[in-house]
Structure 1
Amino acid sequence: MNFKRRAVAAAAVLAVAGAGLATVQATAEATQPASHPARGRPEACPDLTVSKGWYGENKARLQRMIDTYGHCGPQRHKGGARPVATFDWDNTVIKNDIGDATMFWLLRNGKIRTPERGDWHTTSRYLTDPAAKALAKACPATGTTLPTHRNTACADEILSVYSEATTTAGKHAFDGFDRRRMEPQYAWLAQLTRGWTTRQVKRFAAAARRENLAAPVGAEQRVGTERVTGWVRYYDQQRDLIRTLKKAGFDVHIVSASPEPVAEVWADAVGIDARHTLGIRNITAHGRQTAHLKGCGTVRDGDDSMITYIDGKRCWINKEILGVHGAAAQKVQPADRRQVFAAGDSDTDVSFLRDATGLRLVLNRNKNELMCRAYENGDGRWLVNPMFIEPKGKKADPYPCATTGYTRGDGTPAPVRRTDGSVIPDQRDTVYGESAPSSAP
């Protein structure tokens, strides 16, 4: 199988950016106040300390942003509000994926509950009939939990539906959802925690975390009959950036498309507490997770049609971090009511990255829409950096911005457009890396 977000080890050796991007970035620098001790910058202002892995002027530009909007800067705490910074989690703050790590652990340890009435449709409103039938056949309901640690056929079927969105026979597993606010594979992990308490889910996530941090870089593990990624690492550069932002007075949040209890377990190690961690939220009943999800904006609790994914991330950030409620949470807010900084790595992050008013950090994973917007860099506020561990090499073909780089809600491709409706031309990949030995856990 080609598992989503799969990785092997390496660290970034950075490449040379194209002249066009460098020119736009240099122009943008003129709009931000300089930051230098000789020009009166207080020595107490927090500094980024990790230099390795940052491309070009990215570290310097991040430092200038921190000096501008943090407690030392001329734009600090306007109206008493702290500047907000929002980070995606998987492959943005860490290498690899905590949702994957948790799902693999659940399957290896037999911790997925048998569906209600043995009907797999109860686990996701978007599950297709062929998928429900394949799961029922591979995973007969013989007890409270499914013996996926012994029944490899059952483990393989669940793994295929989760990782590939297909059955092991190649049938589509999910259908009928809005691709701009829902990814049913991600949601399915949260829904498969049905029956466990939040504390138990956190315990499972903590066990998976210990295993993945202890495993050697590049390690694999067996789930069912398949070999899957078995390691995770925190990025030293992002730990340092989060620490510095917090010291400068920023209100720093994690916004993940993994289950919220899982994200909370991992985020704690970079100093982000549960109140500052957003993820997929289950509705609970009698203290236990259900297979239904909390809603946002016009989406009601239990409708299960919007998670922290693309436009859904915007909605949840507006609602839970910026205090915007109701239908307005789904809309772009005025500049003074948005996050100053955002960081992400995938098309799943594109909406909340676009909302950031100061800088937007993108780790290059060759995702079409995100890289189209980042490389076009119309307002000069996009920073592109290779991944800090196992950076992608140069993409041979230009990103198809002018034709198919955007995915509509119904799944059909379209051109990537600017806010004014004009089409972004195809963009070449200019910020990339080559494999090198990775950092320690």
Structure 2
Amino acid sequence: MTTPTPPALPRLDDDARWEPPVRARLDAFLAACARELAVAPGRDDAPFAVFDWDHTLFHGDIGDALFVHMVKNDGFFRPLTWQDTSPFLTHEAVDALAGFTPRDSARLPGPGGSGLAREMVSIYLHHRTSGGAAAFSGFNPETTHPSYAWCASLLAGHTPSQVADLTHEVMVHLFDRPAGATGELAGLHGWADWARQAIPMINLANRLEAAGVPVWIVSASPQHVVETCARHVGLDPVRVIGVRSRLANDGRLLSRLETCGGHDGVIPYDLGKRCWIQRIICGRTDPCLERSDDRTRARLWFAAGDSDGDLAFLQDASRLRLVIAHRDNRAVRMATGNEDGRWLVNPPFYGA
């Protein structure tokens, strides 16, 4: 009797942009996952992996790009008051925005709206009005990035399908731009105006799923934006946690955002990502910001991110953690130090 040939173990595609020791460690991890889960499928403590989106699976920041695109193309609906768009806008920011807001246009910035465009982009990118006043206050920097929350709130009035269409427009624009291109609007300039898929990271996500480890994307960009991005690269949009807007009865987005853990203003950012992972993926009704519970940590086998806003869930991963060294930060330094032997660090996959 012929012994059946065991299925091939998942391995990463050949790509010279992986650091050789990193690739070897990931291939060994994939093989170990496949072997372990083949023996015990459907286990109660089923593992999962978490990836950040911006600068991890995607070379760029889709939330930033969407915000600028909406400002350039009069894409935002005019709010009744600017205070409705964020509880963290300062009086100076509200006054600066209101001073340029047209009364006869349902869309913003509206005709001749360069002044409002400048204020909106300055507040979003720099957290200051064009006059230099602080634009946000009163937020917890460990659970909220006020610009990211503001972008999601400003999508109020759109349907999820409209947000998906807008996201496609933005992605087409970014992919058509040459690497290194920068943007300019209303006298402001210098932000990245290009993006690419991080193909090796998408390949890693697919190989993890082939090994039996479901992949979740947890991002501080808007929910329906990241769902669209996930679908574009072949990942399951059902397993996306982004900044979630509440919905009106007619299905349109409201300016009010969902929160987590009984705390106001907790979006999937830094400690907020930990909270949302416990709540949505693990079904905890009492998620904790300060520390993940043992069961969640045991199930979170792998995590990948690039920034300090990812550090909490990176630290919670029990088996392996990958940091993309997009810039020098605490996450990169912790991965480089590798005190417990479970950290990996790789340069960004430019050219992907």
Q: TM-score, normalised by structure 2?
A: 0.92
The change in CA–CA distance for 1:49 and 1:315 in structure 2 (over 3 A counts) is same
Native 8 Å contact 2:183 2:192 kept in 1: yes
Separation of aligned partners in 1, 2:111 and 2:186: 7
Q: Which moved more, 1:99-108 or 1:213-222?
A: 213-222
**2-structure distance, mates of 1:273, 1:149:** 39
Superposition map of 1:202-213 within 5 A = 202-213=164-175
Alpha-carbon deviation of 1:365?
2.8
In 1, Cα distance between equivalents of 2:90 and 2:307: 26
Q: Using the alignment, how far apart are the partners of 1:328 and 1:154 within structure 2?
A: 39
DSSP 3-state at the match of 1:295: coil
Residues 1:311 and 2:268 are matched in the alignment: no
Distance 2:39 2:308 in 1: 30
1:46 aligns with 2:10: yes
Q: CA RMSD in A?
A: 2.0
Question: What is aligned with 2:75?
Answer: 111
Aligned match of 1:176 in 126, 131, 138?
138
Asked whether the 8 Å contact 1:243–1:270 carries over to 2, the reply is no
2:43 alignment partner in structure 1 = 79
Confirm or deny that 1:351 pairs with 2:315: no
Contact 2:182 2:192 in 1 (8 A): yes
C-alpha displacement of 1:96: 1.0
1:241 aligns with 2:204: yes
| Pairing of 1:99-248 with structure 2 (within 5 A) | 99-116=63-80, 119-148=81-110, 150-227=112-189, 228-248=191-211
Q: Classify the secondary structure of the residue corresponding to 2:78.
A: coil
Asked if 1:360 corresponds to 2:321, the answer is yes
**Shift in Å at residue 47 of structure 1?**
1.4
Amino acid at match of 1:345: D
Aligned mates of 1:342, 1:69 — CA distance in 2: 14
Q: Counterpart in 2 of 1:254?
A: 217
Q: Distance in 2 between matches of 1:182 and 1:237?
A: 29
Structure 2 unmatched runs, 5+: none
Native 8 Å contact 1:314 1:329 kept in 2: yes
Cα offset, 1:329, TM superposition: 6.9
Kept in 1: contact 2:271–2:289 (CA 8 A): no
Q: Which has the higher helix share?
A: 2
CA–CA separation in structure 2 for the residues paired with 1:128 and 1:386: 38
Aligned-partner SS, 1:57? helix
CA deviation string 1:201-254 (max 9, x = no partner): 111111111111122222334333333422110112112101111111111111
The count of aligned residue pairs is 345
TM-aligned CA deviation for residue 105 of structure 1: 1.2
Kept in 2: contact 1:49–1:240 (CA 8 A): yes
Partner of 1:13: none
- Contact persistence 1:69–1:76 (CA under 8 A): no
C-alpha displacement of 1:133: 0.5
- Does the 8 Å contact 1:322/1:337 carry over to 2? no
Q: Aligned in 2, Cα 1:382/1:194: closer, same or farther, shift over 3 Å?
A: same
Contiguous gaps of at least 5 residues in structure 1: 1-40, 390-437
Contact 1:107 1:149 in 2 (8 A): no
SS at match of 2:76: coil
What amino acid is aligned across from residue 137 of structure 2 in structure 1? D
Q: Name the CA shift for 1:148/1:337 in 2 (closer, same or farther; >3 Å).
A: farther
Q: Normalized against structure 1, the TM-score is what? A: 0.74
Match of 1:341 among 284, 302, 305: 302
Distance 1:339 1:265 in 2: 24
Aligned residues of 1:94 and 1:232 also touching (Cα < 8 A) = yes
Q: Does 1:281 align with 2:244?
A: yes
Write the distance in 1 (CA, Å) between the matches of 2:176 and 2:247.
32
